[in-house]
Structure 1
């Protein structure tokens, strides 16, 4: 049992890490709040003074704000649906005994280690290019007209690219959860004559509920800040401008740090709303 002296020593040793972590989080947040109330144009006059809530009002009333929020939520929702559904299917497949099982698992997980910019470039030039892409050649082989993926189906294309990156993560978490399932339950259900769909719906899926909620929470946190895939492929065109990319345009392209900082605060608010909603779901599943 830890004594008061040992607990005090542990707290003292943890203090530098806690202070560093708080500074790492709080300093950018405080600076974002500070600049959001100022008119700061680095290349057009610099600091032009305080403007109060003018930046917030301008950003919120912008014609691109709500479409960017909508695009963000569509991309996040689409990626979550694809990665969870196909992640469960792949996890069930990889859990079956097969020849070369270890190699197959490594190949399935490998896309998660590819950098987002590299992944987006590969999909843009090797798969979705309407002239030389593999999908274009496949369409031509069947006598169909190649598709302009990034212009005609831009949101779907972004969702597909990001899903390819995050599917291995979901598969790995769900596969670990499946392997922790007591095989005697499945064997007993099989001996009682339960069909595969019933075994999946009444035994496997309830067992995966906690893993699914964890995947849902972690992926949402990262997907709300998606940027690299959009920058490489569409650069915010064709309805793919997310809230993160809109902030980038305001800060770097328009050189309006104050307006971009106000957008950053809105992004923080949106992320916290989504996080609170998801935490309630996760809490219910973890307490079940």
Structure 2
């Protein structure tokens, strides 16, 4: 009887395999249109940008056209604003990450404790993340950093000090403060969610063993937040590479090149000098820089996750 049932089992197995193959085939046909649209959505603009970066294309001089080779890249590399824009981009990202990660960890530890009005305080803490970049830049420019009407100027006058024109004296620092104010709630949300998953029994055991607040923070809380910190660094870095509205609204890249990052330089070349070829070359360099940074960040995150799983 066992031998006679074997062909039936094989037929049943083949039938199940055929059903799975047909189901997979139908699924591929269903997702093909969306994948094709997504591919065209990304590929066509990228291909056009690459083509324009190797072309003479200036809206103020339409007679100058044709293949430019790498002339746009050479001109961009020798532009006096190019190297400062790269440095400003890296400084802006680096200092913003320092402020948001450190501040986010401290806020997460603070909000992990029960206190009166915690819900309202948490809502106020995440509020800046939902303010549009242009609006937040205007608030800081006209209500906080303004040397005559700003809150900081009023406090300094009350203390007998001379108000500071922040955007003229400390332009890049001012941009870092504005961007950090916008992204600190994001870091806080990620890190606060991670700290909520910390095993309470582990913390209680550490307290019983005599661990103080600093020991618990450096040896229990901070190692637990390592993976969340890596996620915050990766996500923020990708978005901070394209910071533009805050610079455009407050300093317009100045004074001089003090706050010109790569995004603003591309805007200046494309929409102020009307040179589409140069702007496209800058856009390609920005894409290359973003991919390089993303590659190392993803490797860092993967290594971090691997270390967590091995533990």
**TM-score, normalisation: structure 2:** 0.90
Counterpart of 1:277 in structure 2 is: 296
SS at match of 1:3: helix
CA-to-partner distance for each residue in 1:19-49, whole Å, 9 max, x for gaps? 2221221111111001001111123226611
Match of 2:9 in 1: none
Residue equivalent to 2:261: 242
Residue 6 of structure 1: CA displacement?
2.4
Separation in structure 2 between the aligned mates of residue 265 and residue 155 of structure 1, nearest angstrom: 25
1:213 aligned to which of 230, 243, 252: 230
**Residue 260 of structure 1, aligned match among 279, 284, 294:** 279
Match of 1:146 among 157, 163, 166: 163
The Cα shift of 1:10 comes to: 2.4
When the two chains are superposed, the root-mean-square deviation of aligned CA atoms in Å is 1.3
How far did 1:160 drift?
0.2
Higher mean displacement: 7-16 or 20-29 = 7-16
SS in 1 for 2:225: helix
- Check conservation: 1:128, 1:148, Cα contact below 8 A: yes
Tell me the alpha carbon deviations over residues 93-133 of structure 1, each in whole angstroms, 9 at most, x when there is no partner: 11111122211111111110000000000000000000010
User: How far does residue 9 in structure 1 lie from its aligned partner after superposition?
Assistant: 2.5
1:196 to 213, 216, 225: 213
Q: What are structure 1's unaligned runs of at least 5 residues?
A: none
Say whether residues 1:87 and 2:104 are aligned partners: yes
Aligned to 2:29: 12
- Whether the 8 Å CA contact 1:40–1:46 is kept in 2: the answer is no
The secondary structure found in structure 2 opposite 1:175 is helix
Provide the secondary structure at the position in 1 that maps to 2:260.
coil
Structure-1-length-normalised TM-score: 0.97
2:250 to 198, 209, 233: 233
Q: Which runs of 4+ in 1 moved over 4 A?
A: none
Q: Which has the larger radius of gyration?
A: 2
